[in-house]
Structure 1
Amino acid sequence: MSEKMKNLLALSIIPQVIGIKLLALAPGFIEKYYSNGVYPLISKGSRYAFGWVPFSVGDVFYGIAGILILRFLFLNLRSVLRKPWYFFREVLIVISFAYFAFHVFWGMNYYRPPLHRSLDMDSTYTTEELVDFTKSLIARTNAIQLEITGNDTVMVEIPYSRKEIYRMSVSGYTETAKEMPGFSYAPRSVKNSLFSLPLTYMGYSGYLNPFTNEAQVNGLRVDYRYPMVSCHEEAHQIGYSAENEANFIGFLAATRNKDIYFRYSGYAYMLRYCLNEAYRRDPETFEKLKEQMHKGILKNYTDVTLFWRKYENPVEPFFKNTFNAYLKANSQAGGIKTYSYVVALLVNYHKENPL
């Protein structure tokens, strides 16, 4: 490759960034031509290509990329002082290719219109509406917990393997798509991450590989959240990049699943978000709501908290801050806090669709 071509490839990152920022100003265009146009073809093609492979192809790619990066640094680090432009040019070429591939294969979904607009819902709610919805959610979660265990003090344990959970997760999307065709999900491509232990130390339950469209789930431990987390990552696959929206769609898929453990996972998972929001607004009301919950549900929450506490480390906040910056750079102004905005979607959706 000629020096001129290398220079052009390296500097192509500049017009790319400008172009993406301009496109982000036209969410309707992105929704029509990318999210509902080109992207479904790319997504399904990737899942057909990699979904049948029993291990995470994307994680293998990441591993190889990591090795090549270390090799490059080792061989070229001395050139930083002698020929800095040549060194940084090679780095920029890689960044330019990655930036382009990221947005083509998935990242443009960050700039589509907010889901509450697509569903014609409000984005705000009152504390009274939150409390009423949370009470309904507690009643539903209590009933399912008691049906599963037969004892309101016993926590729910998921009896399925990881592969069984992945296979079963699709049926919830099938039911959801009957009302909302845009939430259909096929084919399936959800797998254990090969980096589950590092993910745990980083504090993450899963992620979507934007280059292979594989849903990666932290496979270190199956707990009550596992079905819901799987549905969450699958929501990313169908083009909903915002974390609050993926949680909302994952909740619909989990709670419309015919399997009772999936329904419990969805209700219990989102109940915790509602309780956190109730506590933020009114701690006294939170305590009253908590008293209505079965002890078995609280034991599920405690069980998960104790698990993650074992892996707390000084580096975890760094990864959380990095992800926070990543979200903000991709049009999620609230950063990692957007996870809590799912409560607004839940409350307003269930005004017209009561539990």
Structure 2
Amino acid sequence: MLYSPVKNPIFEIVKNKSQIILAILLPIQIVLIKLLAGNEWLIESWYSRGIYPYISRIMRWSLGILPFSFGDLLYTILTVFILRWLAKRIKTRLKKPKEWMLEILATLSIVYFCFHFFWGFNYYRFPLHQSLDIDNEYSKEELVLLTEKLIEKSNKIHLEIVQNDTVKVDIPYSKEEIFDITVQGYDHIKKDFPELTYEGRSLKRSLFSWPLTYMGFNGYLNPFTAEAQVNTTILPFKIPTTASHEIGHQLGFAKENEANFIACLVTINHPDPFFRYCGFTFALRYCLAELFRRDQEVGEALMKKLHPGILKNYQEVEDFWLQHQNPLEPLFQAFYNRFLIVNNQQDGLRSYSYVVALLVNYYKNTENAF
């Protein structure tokens, strides 16, 4: 009688040996990553500007043609397998712990390797301010100057669009059109920033948009498929900067604050006035938040200069998230905060304020930046 592949003793021996090797490789990988993380030049030259652009383009060209999120589909299948595996373990009352613990370690080893090889090494590249050759420090006076400039620009383009300073701006495009126009923004800016050349579009609606909303996320990059996922249940006003942000991740800028700065850069310089409005108000919100933290009185004085219509756009975003609050959201945010800290963003979610330093110094060092 022939053995089935699963029960074949030779197959089982090979399987067990493979799992043991993979399990042993997990701590070795962790140590190697820690050592490599301290060598930013090596990561920048060998990975971020070396093999990653090829990996990313291959993934984008191959999966970008699919009209749905392949990565989200994989996550769904993986979730089903995990639930089935847990049910099996519970059914057997967690018997043979050495066997199932080995399975877990082997699986984590594979996931850990794939995460870093396909994208994760980008967390350890040079900080963006070094790549742009600008400072990452600034004075309150410089922050006030930039905030005033952004208020002026936001008010001007707001009035150009709606001709009434009390009316909020509504984005007149469908969500698919917003995706197309987002890519146009990268085409427009690549002459000045060749590192932002975007070839092989893979920008998609997330199949998990509804749960992402209740988790408090606008979108994410799938590190295993290089697909930029956008939560399309959010307000259209937020999609241009969110989509631009996720493409920034695709291009190898892993840190959230750096992707936010790139989103500002792309949308502020976009040929479309609605995208420029989204970009200026996006950058302005970061500057105002930082100014309120440093000097609330000055922040309140500058807020009074903003058109009421812009404040209405800000308020509708606030109302949207209040309507979708979830008691578990702080847990998701805490988990993601810890994820950022583990992946070379020592301030966690607070590191988002670094975008202000990039904006201030880019504006200061670039003639006619905005």
Instruction: Answer yes or no: same fold by TM over 0.5.
Output: yes
**1:122 aligned partner:** 135
Tell me the amino acid that sits aligned with residue 197 of structure 1.
Answer: W
Question: Please, what TM-score do these two structures have when normalized by structure 1?
Answer: 0.98
Share of identical aligned residues, percent? 49
1:190 aligned to 2:190? Answer: no
1:175 aligned to 2:165? Answer: no
Check conservation: 1:217, 1:230, Cα contact below 8 A. Answer: yes
Tell me the amino acid that sits aligned with residue 238 of structure 2.
Answer: R
**2:288 aligned partner:** 275
Check conservation: 1:201, 1:312, Cα contact below 8 A. Answer: yes
**2:7 aligned partner:** none
**1:13 aligned partner:** 26
**2:345 aligned partner:** 332
Tell me the amino acid that sits aligned with residue 254 of structure 2.
Answer: S
Check conservation: 1:158, 1:222, Cα contact below 8 A. Answer: no
Tell me the amino acid that sits aligned with residue 109 of structure 2.
Answer: S
1:214 aligned to 2:202? Answer: no
Tell me the amino acid that sits aligned with residue 131 of structure 2.
Answer: S
**1:91 aligned partner:** 104
1:234 aligned to 2:247? Answer: yes
Which shifted more, 213-222 or 285-294?
213-222
Match of 1:58 among 71, 77, 88: 71
In structure 2, what is the Cα distance between the partners aligned to 1:67 and 1:3? 23
Offset of residue 79 of structure 1: 5.0
Identify unmatched segments of 5+ residues in structure 1: none
Which shifted more, 18-27 or 170-179?
170-179
Tell me the amino acid that sits aligned with residue 279 of structure 2.
Answer: G
In the superposition, relative to structure 1, how do residues 147 and 45 fare at CA in structure 2: closer, same or farther (>3 Å)?
same
Check conservation: 1:79, 1:87, Cα contact below 8 A. Answer: no
In structure 1, what is the Cα distance between the partners aligned to 2:363 and 2:184? 21
Question: Please, what TM-score do these two structures have when normalized by structure 2?
Answer: 0.94
Offset of residue 339 of structure 1: 1.2
Check conservation: 2:235, 2:317, Cα contact below 8 A. Answer: no
**2:354 aligned partner:** 341
Match of 1:49 among 36, 55, 62: 62
In structure 1, what is the Cα distance between the partners aligned to 2:35 and 2:122? 14
Tell me the amino acid that sits aligned with residue 320 of structure 1.
Answer: Q
1:294 aligned to 2:281? Answer: no
Match of 2:167 among 145, 150, 154: 154
In structure 1, what is the Cα distance between the partners aligned to 2:176 and 2:78? 27
1:247 aligned to 2:267? Answer: no
The alignment's C-alpha RMSD in Å is 1.1
In structure 2, what is the Cα distance between the partners aligned to 1:179 and 1:82? 61
1:137 aligned to 2:117? Answer: no
Tell me the amino acid that sits aligned with residue 226 of structure 1.
Answer: I
In structure 2, what is the Cα distance between the partners aligned to 1:299 and 1:119? 34
Offset of residue 78 of structure 1: 4.9
Check conservation: 2:213, 2:234, Cα contact below 8 A. Answer: no
3-state DSSP class of the match of 2:237? coil
In structure 1, what is the Cα distance between the partners aligned to 2:90 and 2:237? 47
Offset of residue 81 of structure 1: 4.2
Structure exhibiting the larger radius of gyration computed from Cα positions: 2
Offset of residue 2 of structure 1: 3.6
3-state DSSP class of the match of 1:12? helix
In structure 2, what is the Cα distance between the partners aligned to 1:130 and 1:337? 18
3-state DSSP class of the match of 2:254? coil
Identify unmatched segments of 5+ residues in structure 2: 1-13
In the superposition, relative to structure 1, how do residues 226 and 2 fare at CA in structure 2: closer, same or farther (>3 Å)?
closer
Check conservation: 2:218, 2:234, Cα contact below 8 A. Answer: no
User: Over residues 81-134 of structure 1, what are the superposed CA-to-partner deviations in whole Å (9 max), with x where a residue is unaligned?
Assistant: 431111111111111111110001000000001000111110110000000000
In the superposition, relative to structure 1, how do residues 8 and 80 fare at CA in structure 2: closer, same or farther (>3 Å)?
farther
Offset of residue 338 of structure 1: 1.3
In structure 1, what is the Cα distance between the partners aligned to 2:186 and 2:299? 32
